[in-house]
Amino acid sequence: MKLSRMVSNQNGVSRKRANALIATGRVSVNGKVCRNTQHDVSEFCAVTADGDVIQQARPSRYIMLNKPAGYLSATVDDIHPTVLKLIDPALHEDLHIGGRLDRASTGLLILTNDGNWSRRLTEPEIKIPKVYRVTTENPITADTHQRFSDGIWFEYEQLTTSPAQIEVLDEREARITIYEGRYHQVKRMFHAVGNRVTSLHRERMGRIQLDDELTAGEHRPLTAEEIASV
């Protein structure tokens, strides 16, 4: 929401009056005077006008989890345990998952209550790189690199995936970098070249790297640098 609109809506004044308050330095965002009427403010911003509280800042949460196998990337499920069972209950409110992993997959999972931030992390159009380490049922064939680089046609979505990179580590092991994060994308890409993923571990999303010190099931808050990288 633009700052002028928030001040007008919450302070019961006209838009013209709100603009005047902002322009004369009588409005602060997160403790700092803001004279830009078009400044974007979210629910995580504290806003005051003439010292009166217009909006209290809602606490934001950004959590890195080293997801173990067997947990659903969901906040609630009647059958299987969800990843929320691994997070401190005091942090649960309004958390959602930024970039799901299926129940058998492991590695980097991000949970947050900031929807705008998580959309920037996961939307296919933004093309933030996601890096996975995979093991396959069959040896990785020589043409896999070219097929992935050309893009794989997904019939259901009626689209071709963005070019992906593959670094072969062993006969049946590779590191894959994709830029979209579509439903079961890595597994479907390997299926398209006649192979099957037997294990999938996410190592990185953008510049957020899974912390080596987190054992499976452990979590920690993201650092300010990691949050800002998105």
Please tell me the distance from the alpha carbon of residue 65 to that of residue 43, in angstroms, as a whole number: 24
- If one counts every other C-beta atom within 10 angstroms of the C-beta of residue 137, the result is 10
**Ordered alpha helix ranges (H), 15-98:** 15-23
Is the Cβ–Cβ distance between 113 and 94 less than 8 Å?
yes
Separation of alpha carbons 227 and 224, rounded Å: 5
- Please give the structure tokens belonging to residue 113: 């209550």
Sign of CA dihedral 18, 24, 28, 29: positive
* 101 CB-contact burial (10 Å; exposed 0-12 / middle 13-18 / buried 19+): buried
Q: In what order do the strands lie in the sheet with 52-55?
A: 32-33, 27-29, 47-49, 52-55
**How many angstroms separate the first and last alpha carbons of the chain?**
20
Active site includes 102?
A: yes
Q: Counting runs of H as helices and runs of E as strands, what totals does the chain give?
A: 6, 15
Closest CA to 64 of 185, 175, 225: 225
* Residue of 40, 50, 102, 170 with catalytic role: 102
Residues marked as catalytic: 102
